[in-house]
Amino acid sequence: MTIKEFQQLISNKYEHRDRQRGTAATFMWFIEEVGELATALAGDDHENKIEEFGDVFAWLCTLANINDVDLEQAIEKYRGEGHLGYK
């Protein structure tokens, strides 16, 4: 599955409700998932790490969807040879 396909899947399932919740509240859900990922990364449960990475990515897609951002377009800059990937 491509990033675009996954972002569309998340849109099809959740976007109507997510738009009603709004960006600020959705961002808080995203941050909660990032916290759960941080906890998982500190542990030894690989399956939990996989689950939490998936949750973080799904919520990132949700934020992108309700802000009309195409994530494939957003990451395009990393394909170029001149981009270092850090600031």
Each residue of 65-80: pLDDT tens digit?
999 999 999 999 888 7
The predicted structure's pLDDT at residue 83: 61
Q: Is residue 84 part of a domain?
A: no
- Mean pLDDT calculated for residue range 50-56: 98
Q: Is residue 85 part of a domain?
A: no
Exposed/middle/buried for residue 25 (C-beta within 10 Å: 0-12, 13-18, 19+): exposed
What CATH number does the domain containing 36 carry?
Answer: 1.10.287.1080
The predicted structure's pLDDT at residue 77: 87
Q: Which domain holds residue 22?
A: 3-79
**80 token code pair:** 């170029």
Distance CA 85, CA 71 (A): 16
